[in-house]
Amino acid sequence: MGVQLGANSVQVNIFQREDSAQSLAGDRGSLPAAVRVSDADPRLLGVHRAITVTGVPDSSPPTYVPRDIDTAEFGLHARVRAAAARSGFVLLVGGSSVGKTRSAVEAVKKALPDWSLIHPAGPEEIIALARQPPARTVIWLDELQRYLDGANGLVGATIRALLNAPGPLVVIGTLWPDRYSSYTALPAVGGNDPHAREREVLGLAEMVRVDEEFSTAELARAHAAGKRDPRIATALESGHRLPQALAAAPELVTHWENARTAEPYAWAVISAALDVALLGVQAPLPADLLRAAAPGYCTSRQQALAPTGWFDNALAYATRILHGAAAALDPASAGMGRLGGYTPADYLVQHASRKRSAARVPVSTWDALAGATFSPDDTGRLAFSAERLQLHSYAITFYRRLYDAGESAAADRLWRLLADRGDADGLSALAEAGDENARRWLDVVVADADPQGIIGRLVASGNVAGLRKLAAVGNRYAAERLAFLLAERGNIADLVPVLEGRADDGDRDARIKVIDLLLQHRELDQLMAWAADGFVGGWDLIALVTLLVDLGDQDRLRKLARDGHRYASEQLANLLKNRGDRDGLQQLALTADYDDDPEWLAGPLYDLGDRDGAAELRRASELRRLANHGDDDAIKQLASLLKNRGDRDGLRKLALTVYYDDFEWLAGLLEDLGDLKGAADVRRRRNGRRR
């Protein structure tokens, strides 16, 4: 165990082992059972159940449609063969229900049919395998995050022990793109490094990216397969992406979103499950937790008029299997005939990570979580989520639970949170139980805050004027007590300047509170000014964007999008799509930065029927990727495309960030668009001069 905690922040990678080498000695789990690769059941390996079509047996998977990555020079099959020759780790990265697991299954069955395959239940079984590495074996790690997260998550030493085994061995994993990006992101200079362990593991893998979109050649193969397999034909006719349509993924989204008005209690239950999953709980969710959390997603009227049996009816809707393939909530077993809880569909969780990223989790959900029991790993993730969201009372609850269970590495965060809140009673309780560190923190709080008890007496008597005088001369504890007192009285007009003063002094909690107040009272001009100055960012900016979306305020959303706020651009795109505003989306495409991921903008355009516009965005993104690697032909094509679109900003960015021999041609294109300053900057760069 080893929670890595800094002085001012907690790392996401909670409960990483202190021994980074992750000892392979000792009895850490029995060797899992193996099956012959050719006999492995794709469903048991993680391939989603396919839609049901009359006359087609559910027992057999749909016809496999080969992907371009399968046979590319450095594609999946080549990577698997190379790994089999020298032992290797192949990682497929792609979104939920894009076909990555099925592609991996087909690859190993084709290349290694006579090998053994082992699907470990968790990291402990992988450690057992590393102690006795089996030759000619595929180690199957579908949904790799399940093996990376947690107290004993995988480390590089375990994977290296497998790959250094005497006999050939292949490790196959799959991972969502957002997880891959999070795990591999480099920390800021001097900052915490929350994912060093995961980054080390992923650095040992050969990565193969699986796209959501089918290429022209792949679609042609799909239509040919559709003539033989009615499920393929049905999926193609749906208009959705083929792998997702086969897994009924779009129907899952529709089922959830339609429930908001048609089945509000079911929408509440499903939404609660999704929020809990997004907060970090990976275990199946008990029915009692979902029942307790659901009311916070209902209006007062819906709560008052909830019929008898509302929860049972909601669960029936949430667990309904759609097209024979998927359900929003999947019952999990706790043994024969015993229900262990419910697990939300992974595609729906991924969709909700975007759809509900700005939604505030209701108090009912936090209360339900605080009253439930989870593993140390899930509890640690909940503690981090609560602290990240500035919900310190809940964070303290979870950290205290870990502390009481003997997870001493959580103590530092517990002491600091109690001290930051000036919670002398909480620290006293720990100190009286014999915690000397808590006693030292208590001494600091008392000495710094109110050594003579003056502030306490002012608070007890409600003396606002006295507290204000002490706050004015820099007593932060007095300012904090004043803020609490004003908030309790609902005196917002007086509270905002007090909090502003504390925020100017670097009090992060005060900044959060004043922004929340401005959001509640819809002081949009002040919030926009602070956003332009960089004072509003992170979760505060997300909350501002959410408010603007609720108000339909396109002008302010465009301003934030032009200033480079990606989340504002994404939400504006969704708003424009919902209004059927194709022209607005096309205009947004001229100003939004979609280089790394054009899909969030291409998707809405495609859904509104602008397939050419969506294809152009994807083409521009691919050209930019090639241009950044010095491909002259891509630079020329992209420059011409940007010029034809009238995209001066995009063209200027291209001209100033790539090296191209004919800089004069690029400068001329900028002049044609009326960007004389941009053209001059390009020529100065060409001539080696700088301002």
Domain with 131 in it: what CATH number? 3.40.50
The last residue of a domain, from among 499, 521, 543: 521
pLDDT value at position 294? 92
pLDDT value at position 6? 29
Residue that is written with structure tokens 């890595």 in the block:
4
Cα–chain-centroid distance for residue 435? 37
User: From the CA atom positions of the chain, what is the Rg in Å?
Assistant: 28
Q: What are phi and psi of 141, to 5 degrees?
A: -120, 60
pLDDT value at position 12? 30
Q: Looking at the predicted structure, is the pLDDT value of residue 79 above 80?
A: yes
Confidence band, pLDDT 50/70/90 cuts, at residue 20:
very low
- Average pLDDT (451-460) is 65
pLDDT value at position 4? 28
Asked whether 670 and 652 are in contact (CB, 8 A), the reply is yes
In a domain, 499, yes or no: yes
For residues 334 and 138, the model is more confident at 138
pLDDT value at position 585? 75
- By residue count, the chain amounts to 691
Q: Is the dihedral of CA 500, 506, 509, 511 positive or negative?
A: positive
Supply the range of the domain harboring residue 329. 248-357
User: Quick one: 262 and 206 in the same domain?
Assistant: no
User: Quick one: 506 and 414 in the same domain?
Assistant: no
Q: Looking at the predicted structure, is the pLDDT value of residue 572 above 60?
A: yes
pLDDT value at position 690? 44
Q: Looking at the predicted structure, is the pLDDT value of residue 25 above 70?
A: no
For residues 506 and 678, the model is more confident at 678
CA gap 564, 330 in Å, rounded: 39
User: Quick one: 337 and 215 in the same domain?
Assistant: no
Confidence band, pLDDT 50/70/90 cuts, at residue 113:
very high
User: Quick one: 46 and 125 in the same domain?
Assistant: yes
Asked whether 243 and 92 are in contact (CB, 8 A), the reply is no
Mean pLDDT of the chain: 78
Question: Closest Cα to residue 119, out of 66, 200, 42?
Answer: 42
Asked whether 68 and 211 are in contact (CB, 8 A), the reply is no
Collect all residues with Cβ–Cβ distance below 8 Å to 197 and sequence separation of at least 6: 13, 16, 20, 148, 153, 154, 155, 156
Neighbours of 62 (CB within 10 A): 23
Q: Looking at the predicted structure, is the pLDDT value of residue 143 above 70?
A: yes
User: Quick one: 491 and 502 in the same domain?
Assistant: yes
Asked whether 126 and 150 are in contact (CB, 8 A), the reply is no
pLDDT value at position 1? 31
CA distances from 481 to 123, 191, 428, 661 (A): 48, 32, 19, 65
- Average pLDDT (273-287) is 90
pLDDT value at position 110? 93
Could you give the maximum distance between any two Cα atoms of the chain, in Å?
Answer: 85
- Count of the separate structural domains present in the chain: 4
For residues 70 and 511, the model is more confident at 70
Instruction: At 394, list the tokens.
Output: 């809940």
- Average pLDDT (432-448) is 70
In a domain, 677, yes or no: no
In a domain, 680, yes or no: no
Q: Looking at the predicted structure, is the pLDDT value of residue 270 above 70?
A: yes
Q: Looking at the predicted structure, is the pLDDT value of residue 191 above 70?
A: no
pLDDT value at position 38? 92
For residues 574 and 159, the model is more confident at 159
In a domain, 118, yes or no: yes
User: Quick one: 88 and 208 in the same domain?
Assistant: yes
User: Quick one: 380 and 497 in the same domain?
Assistant: no
For residues 524 and 208, the model is more confident at 208
Confidence band, pLDDT 50/70/90 cuts, at residue 151:
low
518 beta partners: none
The last residue of a domain, from among 326, 357, 388: 357
Collapse the DSSP code of 285 into the 3-class scheme (helix H, G, I; strand E, B; otherwise coil) and give the result: strand
User: Quick one: 90 and 216 in the same domain?
Assistant: yes
- Average pLDDT (429-435) is 77
User: Quick one: 99 and 185 in the same domain?
Assistant: yes
Question: Closest Cα to residue 603, out of 94, 218, 244, 213?
Answer: 213
DSSP 306: P
Confidence band, pLDDT 50/70/90 cuts, at residue 326:
confident
CA gap 422, 445 in Å, rounded: 6
**pLDDT one-digit tens code per residue, 221-268:** 888 988 888 888 877 776 677 777 776 677 888 888 888 888 999 999
User: Quick one: 52 and 163 in the same domain?
Assistant: yes
In a domain, 659, yes or no: no
Among the ranges given (126-135, 365-374, 382-391, 535-544), the one the predictor scored with the smallest mean pLDDT: 535-544
Among the ranges given (163-177, 392-406, 496-510, 616-630), the one the predictor scored with the smallest mean pLDDT: 496-510
The last residue of a domain, from among 398, 417, 449: 449
**pLDDT one-digit tens code per residue, 638-662:** 888 778 877 777 777 777 777 777 7
Q: Looking at the predicted structure, is the pLDDT value of residue 354 above 60?
A: yes
Q: Looking at the predicted structure, is the pLDDT value of residue 507 above 70?
A: no
Among the ranges given (70-74, 333-337, 686-690), the one the predictor scored with the smallest mean pLDDT: 686-690
Q: Looking at the predicted structure, is the pLDDT value of residue 687 above 90?
A: no
In a domain, 175, yes or no: yes
Q: Please give, one letter per residue, the 3-state secondary structure of 477-542.
A: HHHHHHHHHHHHHCCHHHHHHHHHHHHHCCCHHHHHHHHHHHHHCCCHHHHHHHHHCCCCCHHHHH
- The strand pair at 116-118 and 34-36 is best described as antiparallel
User: Quick one: 433 and 483 in the same domain?
Assistant: no
**pLDDT one-digit tens code per residue, 456-504:** 677 667 777 877 777 776 666 677 677 666 655 655 566 666 666 655 6
In a domain, 661, yes or no: no
- Average pLDDT (132-153) is 85
Could you tell me the pTM of the whole model? 0.55
pLDDT value at position 691? 42
Cα–chain-centroid distance for residue 691? 41
pLDDT value at position 358? 57
Number of H helices, E strands in the chain: 39, 8
In a domain, 28, yes or no: no
User: Quick one: 412 and 483 in the same domain?
Assistant: no
Asked whether 486 and 471 are in contact (CB, 8 A), the reply is no
Asked whether 170 and 138 are in contact (CB, 8 A), the reply is yes
